[in-house]
Amino acid sequence: MRMLETQCVISGGGPAGLMTGYLLARQGIDVIVLEKHADFLRDFRGDTIHPSTLEIFHELGLLDELLTRPHQKIRQASVTISGNNYKIADFGQLPTLCKYVAMMPQWDFLDYLVKAACEFPNFKLLRLTKAVNLIDQDGQIAGVNASDKDGHLVIHADLTIAADGRDSALRDASGLTLDDIGAPIDVFWMRLPKTPSQAPVSLGQVGSSGFLVQLDRGDYWQCALPFQKGEADIIRAEGIAAFRQRVAGIAPALSTSVASLTSWDQVKLLTVQVNRLRTWWRDGLLCIGDAAHAMSPVGGVGINLAIQDAVATARLVGPSLSNRAIRSQHLAQVQKRRAWPASMTQNAQVIAHRFVLMPALTAKSSPRAPLFIKLLNGFPLLRVITARALGLGLRPEHWKEPAESRSSTIQN
Ligand SMILES: Cc1cc2nc3c(=O)[nH]c(=O)nc-3n(C[C@H](O)[C@H](O)[C@H](O)COP(=O)(O)OP(=O)(O)OC[C@H]3O[C@@H](n4cnc5c(N)ncnc54)[C@H](O)[C@@H]3O)c2cc1C
């Protein structure tokens, strides 16, 4: 049987896992990150990098290089309801260096994080390696059992971090209690061709046949069509032609682009979950990111929250992990710091599901803009508040270099 020993093993090479891995390695801690896939080229993982995440990259000295990767900048957000455009957020007034949301393919973002982390000899990413379950020694978690192409791998660690997303295997193995908040929607996602003559549009289009998120990705449109949970098969049964009509009905400017949709293989179903752990930790184990609190796509804030969890974890747990003196109280501190922003954000998403999305999805005629949307459009100051809520989130984290870390471990 193959065995490895490390100070921290992290299951999941998503935003939460890789950022935590990077920050712990930067403090000189031995880290192994397990990622079950070979690469980060998954279909749609959310491509938004928020101003508060960009600020952390600035604090880490990584921003300039990150921004050499292809991205688009969203400086203002607006929504079109029954043909009328309403401004809802203006990121220009944020107290951050980058006053925009960067739209960067998540594989580029994660690839960059891996590149930065690999500068530290104490960071290791094991691809095609799946965390299977926990090593439980009399109630103390002492690492993970994993599997890769060569079979079974045992990894002993002072701390195990479950950052393996909304279907976390380690969270399930931990016995921690998950509260399902529920989400009334699922999402169909698709790419549509963009012609040079098509003008930039608002992020959301609301019409009598539903709601469409339409993101400008340079040479294509990334579109998400939310619908009532459980209706995927009904929509598919209506046929791809009816689906094209549904999309074009919401966003008439896409009438030509939708012709490219000829098969359901081009339309991916993304299942939305909103849930959270009551307790994020056990002795030797900490859950973060979607593994601790699965987020709805509403507001596109899940990646930012995952990154914020990672920064709080590295800051609150790093020093004791470094001294091999990790205790449950350090893990509890992470939950104490991050549970409030996560649950408040989820609550806001639930309110948006109920009062914005569902009325738009069930409207019988052309929907009208709700009062708060009209107020946002009319009062620029209010749009600064929405920009703060979306762009920074609640309790944004910052990185301060712990003493004697970076310079001693980075390879020149
Ligand atoms: C439809 C939809 C659209 C969304 N759009 C956005 C958006 O635009 N912007 C945004 O900010 N958020 C968005 N979100 C939310 C966002 O995707 C998540 O909140 C965020 O990715 C969470 O990051 P994470 O690192 O915790 O988990 P994940 O990103 O899920 O990463 C988990 C990683 O763990 C790996 N893994 C899983 N199991 C194992 C295992 N057993 N062993 C090893 N590796 C494992 C996975 O392959 C994955 O790489 C969206 C969510 C949904 C459902």
Read off the pLDDT of each residue in 137-166 and give the average, rounded to a whole number. 97
- CA-based nearest residue to 34, from 178, 169, 172: 169
Tens digits of residue pLDDT in 270-304: 999 999 999 999 999 999 999 999 999 888 899 99
**Ligand 1 — pocket residues by CB below 6 A?**
11-17, 34-37, 45-48, 130-131, 163-165, 169, 187, 270, 272, 289-291, 295, 297, 300-304, 306
How far is ligand 1, taken at its centre, from the CA of residue 252, in Å?
A: 31
DSSP state of 313: H
- How high is the pLDDT of residue 403? 62
Which of 11-20, 36-45, 74-83, 94-103 shows the lowest mean pLDDT across its residues? 36-45
Output the average pLDDT for the chain: 92
For the cut 60, the answer to whether the pLDDT of residue 404 exceeds it is no
For the cut 80, the answer to whether the pLDDT of residue 252 exceeds it is yes
**Whole-number Å distance between alpha carbons of 349 and 301:** 10
- How high is the pLDDT of residue 175? 97
pLDDT class of 44 with cuts at 50, 70, 90 = low
DSSP SS3 for 205 = strand
- How high is the pLDDT of residue 59? 97
For the cut 60, the answer to whether the pLDDT of residue 405 exceeds it is no
The residue whose CA has the least distance to atom 1 of ligand 1 is 270
Read off the pLDDT of each residue in 169-190 and give the average, rounded to a whole number. 96
- How high is the pLDDT of residue 17? 98
pLDDT class of 10 with cuts at 50, 70, 90 = very high
Q: Which is it for the CA torsion 57, 63, 68, 72, positive or negative?
A: positive
Query: Which residue(s) pair with 86 in the sheet?
Result: 79
Domains of the chain: 2-181+273-395 (3.50.50.60), 185-270 (3.30.9.10)
The residue whose CA has the least distance to atom 4 of ligand 1 is 297
For the cut 70, the answer to whether the pLDDT of residue 98 exceeds it is yes
The first and second tokens of residue 246, run together, are 């549904």
- Taking CB atoms within 8 Å and a gap of at least 24, the contacts of 357-360 are 357/184, 357/185, 357/211, 357/226, 357/298, 358/184, 358/185, 358/228, 360/206, 360/210, 360/211
- How high is the pLDDT of residue 188? 95
How far is ligand 1, taken at its centre, from the CA of residue 45, in Å?
A: 6
The residue whose CA has the least distance to atom 50 of ligand 1 is 297
Q: Which atom belonging to ligand 1 lies closest to the Cα atom of 164?
A: 34
- How high is the pLDDT of residue 409? 40
- How high is the pLDDT of residue 282? 97
Tens digits of residue pLDDT in 105-136: 899 999 999 999 999 999 999 999 999 999 99
The residue whose CA has the least distance to atom 48 of ligand 1 is 14
Residue 354 CB coordination number (10 Å): 11
- How high is the pLDDT of residue 406? 46
Q: Please say whether the beta carbons of 249 and 395 come within 8 A.
A: no
pLDDT class of 247 with cuts at 50, 70, 90 = very high
For the cut 80, the answer to whether the pLDDT of residue 41 exceeds it is no
How far is ligand 1, taken at its centre, from the CA of residue 67, in Å?
A: 22
**Whole-number Å distance between alpha carbons of 184 and 230:** 9
81-108: burial string, b at 16+ Cβ within 10 Å, e else: beeeebbbbbbeebebebbbbbbbbbeb
For the cut 80, the answer to whether the pLDDT of residue 410 exceeds it is no
- How high is the pLDDT of residue 407? 40
**Whole-number Å distance between alpha carbons of 175 and 164:** 15
**Whole-number Å distance between alpha carbons of 199 and 195:** 9
How far is ligand 1, taken at its centre, from the CA of residue 293, in Å?
A: 11
pLDDT class of 355 with cuts at 50, 70, 90 = confident
Classify strands 101-103 and 72-74 as parallel, antiparallel or unpaired: antiparallel
- How high is the pLDDT of residue 408? 37
Percentage of the residues of the chain whose pLDDT score is greater than 90: 78
The residue whose CA has the least distance to atom 45 of ligand 1 is 12
